[in-house]
Amino acid sequence: MIEKRNPPDVHEPAGYSHVTISDAGRLAHLAGQCPLDLSGQVVGAPGDHAAQTGQVIANCLAVLDAAGAAPDDVVRSVVYVVSADSAVLAAVWRQLNASALAPAFTSASTLLGVASLGYQGQLVEVDLTAALPG
């Protein structure tokens, strides 16, 4: 069972939960999923947050599936975006929440603007923790 809570003494969040409680016995901790294609290359033109976000979504879905989990099983997410522009962060957040991965972001979630990520030209990374069903 996964329970999402928003305490009345804290501001109402915009689409995510302040706390996610799981009584699952096993958790899957996904490595940060990067915008790399099967050949290990960063996708998209330089500066293309949308293309990279699309690849990150595909990679997250594939890794969740390999773990025996689905987006609904995610109990925590952290999204890293290379940008200091809140409009860019919001655009990535909207794209994530319009995708098949969207249920993952209704759990306890964090969105961060960062200066750089691990791969040359990388703009987006998503880190997920999922409670494995049954």
Confidence of residue 20 (pLDDT cuts 50, 70, 90): confident
Segments forming the whole domain that contains residue 98:
2-131
pLDDT 10s digits, 56-113: 999 999 999 999 999 999 999 999 999 999 999 999 999 999 999 999 999 999 999 9
Neighbours of 67 (CB within 10 A): 17
Position with higher pLDDT, 10 vs 94: 94
pLDDT class of 24 with cuts at 50, 70, 90:
low
Q: Which residues are within 8 A (CB) of 103 and not within 5 positions of it... i.e. 6 or more apart?
A: 70, 71, 72, 74
Q: Does the model's pTM come out above 0.85?
A: yes
> For residue 101, which amino acid is it?
L
Given pLDDT bands bounded at 50, 70 and 90, which one contains residue 7?
confident
Number of independent structural domains in the chain = 1
How big is the CA angle at 49 (ends 103 and 28), to the nearest 5 degrees? 35
CATH of the domain at 35: 3.30.1330.40
> Residue 134 pLDDT more than 80?
no
Q: Give the residue, 90 or 23, on which the prediction is more confident.
A: 90
Q: Is pLDDT at 22 greater than 90 in this prediction?
A: no
Share of the chain above pLDDT 70, in %: 99
